[in-house]
Amino acid sequence: MAAAPPPPPDSCVIVALSGGVDSAVAALLLKEQGHRVQGLFMSNWEESEDDIWCTAAQDFQDARAVAAHLDIPLHRVSFAAEYRARVFEHFLAEHRAGRTPNPDVLCNREIKFGAALGYARRLGASHFATGHYARLTAGADGVELHKALDAGKDQSYFLHAVAPAELAATLMPLGSLEKRQVRERARRAGLPVFDKPDSTGICFIGERPFREFLERYLPRTPGPVESPEGERLGTHHGLAFYTLGQRGGLGLGGRPGRPEAPWYVAAKDAARNALVVVQGHDHPLLASTALTTGSWHWLGPAPAGALRCTVKVRYRQADQRALLTPLEGGTVHLEFAEPQRAVTPGQYAVAYEGTRCLGGGVIENVTAALRRPAAA
């Protein structure tokens, strides 16, 4: 597997510096390779000064410290308007519809490898670089997106919707490194963020209590929490605030005559504004045998017919064997070799052939392994 052609030495490479250790080491490695490296800090979420979850100010100071340590220029730009229009409004619309979106995929396509890459080009960069854990390699049909060597940090799932032309102009220096190696490189180089904890929150919004955050933008629409048979068990806050397979936040304790087992969200009945829950992590009503997607984004030529591949229906899921069949209109049908738990409309199904990411699409419809009984 050949690496994608590197830019010539002394070329201008602009690195998306987030203030974290990964992008800092990406900049370090590119500078060591002889490139003229510059940093770009994006502040794309408008926060009030009293927001205790706001980290943008500290992140910028960390990015400044990294740039100063590496002796590279640092640009600062806000794409807050673009983020709200292209990512956040879709995020809210999906939740209003009772679905569960993944904003990180759109954030990469529209902001990091859309607005930011374009901005970097206007600054004179030949290439844009990030601290993503993924590999870009040269293939017969152009650049290929592959999983990172560190399987626990691989981010190719979030990158499947980026256009190949944008990937061809991108460098991801960390794809062949493990996280422990990245932190060690940062420590040895004296980077001030070598021990900064990783961020795991929503793209640009950060880590915060999710339901409380969503309630700033969406009204509560309470309704019944029911068993599959239609027994009322409680009241939910609104279907928008729950996702399939969710365990916490249901407000259900022990019930007379029922086993002492946790409850999970199995379905959303939008017509009746009802949340259907079951007991047991592996309850049959949580299983699905197949799905269909919306428009599928291929990272290479689309196959002429069905192909066997592996697929992820959520980030960090282990690869699952499936049969992928392209449908008319550019959508895809995926049939799993084994039933999958909590396949969720609004999330993304992403397909792989070995380590190569083939592309992905939004999950639209799911084929349940077991039909839910009609509510009484």
Cα–Cα distance, 77 to 272 (Å, whole number): 45
So where are the chain's domains? 12-210, 221-281, 286-368
Residue 3: strand, helix, or coil: strand
Question: For residue 375, what pLDDT is reported?
Answer: 54
Q: What is the mean pLDDT of residues 181-202?
A: 90
Question: For residue 50, what pLDDT is reported?
Answer: 43
Cα–Cα distance, 276 to 271 (Å, whole number): 12
Joined tokens for residue 142: 């152009």
> What mean pLDDT is reported for the chain?
91
Instruction: Note the pTM of the prediction, 2 decimals.
Output: 0.92
Assess contact for 224 and 235: CB atoms under 8 A: yes
* Same-fold call for 12-210 versus 221-281: no
Question: For residue 200, what pLDDT is reported?
Answer: 62
Q: What is the mean pLDDT of residues 356-366?
A: 98
Q: Which CATH architecture is the domain 12-210 placed in? A: 3-Layer(aba) Sandwich (3.40)
Q: Which CATH architecture is the domain 286-368 placed in? A: Beta Barrel (2.40)
Can you give the C-alpha Rg of the chain in angstroms?
22
**Which residues are annotated as catalytic?**
107, 203
Q: Which CATH architecture is the domain 221-281 placed in? A: Roll (2.30)
Cα–Cα distance, 304 to 195 (Å, whole number): 48
Number of H helices and E strands in the chain, helices first, is 10, 18
Tell me the per-residue pLDDT of 33-70, one tens digit each, with 9 for 90 and over: 999 999 999 988 776 544 545 577 889 999 999 999 99
Question: For residue 66, what pLDDT is reported?
Answer: 98
- The residue with tokens 């279907």 is 239
Q: What is the percent of the chain with per-residue pLDDT over 70, rounded to a whole number?
A: 91
For residue 158, what pLDDT band results from cuts at 50, 70 and 90? very high
Q: What is the mean pLDDT of residues 157-185?
A: 97
pLDDT over threshold 80, residue 217: yes
